[in-house]
Structure 1
Amino acid sequence: MKDNRSLHVALELADKDRDAALARCQQAAQALERHRLQAQQLRDYRADYLARWNGQFQQRGTVEIMRCYRDFMARLDQAIAQQALVVQQAEWQLEHARLHLLEQERRAAAIHKLLEKRAAEQALAAQRREQKHTDEQASRLAWNQRLESTGIFAAADIAPLAA
């Protein structure tokens, strides 16, 4: 029974670790989604900006405006590239969190299975003890009946033996 108590404590801790890993996994998934959304917004903004300025360049434009446009597009492309790296990092963190969650789930499941096995073993041992006790009672009863039928002992003499 002492082993079972320690297993129950270990299962409790494993469940807490699994729940914490699940929370981290959910946070990582939410962060990834935010980063992907931000990356998409940057790409959409770049496409809109490009479309606006393509119309502008159909008309006349100064060299200074053209230089500002190119500089801004370069910074925007750099921001998009940086955001892509942030998305990759978030994907890696999510994968790492998922693997950790899987490990914690396996650990909790193993402890739970061990507890079930121990409970089944204890139930089987209890059943065997009960069967042994029942067999012993039946054997004593049969023995007492045999002695009584032969007339060796009186029923009053047998009663203390049956108890």
Structure 2
Amino acid sequence: MNPLQPLMALLAQSERERDEAWTQAQRAGEAQAAAAAQAEQLVNYRREYEQRWSAQFKTEGRIELVHCYRGFMERLTQAVEQQQRVAEQAAQRLQQARAALAEQELRVASVRKLIERRRQELRITADRIEQKETDEFGSRIAWAQPGSAFGPRLPNAA
């Protein structure tokens, strides 16, 4: 079994979670933009409506018409305020989604860093084992060679 397999599985899971957080952040951004655009449209409509009726009231201002205008403006103002609250909530959800995305990106980076450290540790361990084997092999050869300082002594033939 590969000693990095559990970490690779953790990395894959972290990346999936990060991708899901990215998707949620995208959706939250789109929802926030749509809510803000709708609020802006309502504000613009209210402004145009006020201008149009302000000109109308200069020429004639029947009381029934004024009451209708005021009632509609009240409801329109409530709609604008409601939509602005919706836009603010969407902005908060967007902030939360971006924070969650940043957290997931940090987690992925941390797991990658951990995997790299483990790979480096495995390389160092493998290098040490290889060096030890090379040293042992070299000392066996030196020991086995006749006439070496380490090798077996041959009787002097003198």
TM-score normalized by structure 2?
0.89
Structure 1 gaps of 5+ residues are: 154-163
Go from structure 1 to structure 2 and tell me whether the alpha carbon gap of 1:137 and 1:27 turns closer, same or farther (over 3 Å shift). same
How far 1:149 sits from its partner (Å)? 4.8
Q: Size of the alignment, in residue pairs?
A: 152
In 1, the alpha carbon distance for the partners of 2:46 and 2:60 equals 22
8 Å contact kept, 2:142–2:148: no
Instruction: Tell me the residue number matched to 2:41.
Output: 41
How far 1:99 sits from its partner (Å)? 1.5
Ranges of 4+ aligned residues in structure 1 off by more than 6 Å: none
Instruction: Tell me the residue number matched to 1:139.
Output: 139
Instruction: Tell me the residue number matched to 1:26.
Output: 26
Instruction: Tell me the residue number matched to 1:75.
Output: 75
Go from structure 1 to structure 2 and tell me whether the alpha carbon gap of 1:149 and 1:80 turns closer, same or farther (over 3 Å shift). closer
In 2, the alpha carbon distance for the partners of 1:19 and 1:148 equals 69
How far 1:143 sits from its partner (Å)? 2.7
Structure 2 gaps of 5+ residues are: none
Is the helix fraction higher in 1 or 2?
Answer: 1
Instruction: Tell me the residue number matched to 1:4.
Output: 4
Identity rate of aligned residues, in percent?
Answer: 42
Instruction: Tell me the residue number matched to 1:152.
Output: 153
In 1, the alpha carbon distance for the partners of 2:84 and 2:36 equals 8
8 Å contact kept, 2:4–2:115: yes
Aligned AA for 1:34? A
C-alpha RMSD over aligned residues: 1.7
Instruction: Tell me the residue number matched to 1:14.
Output: 14
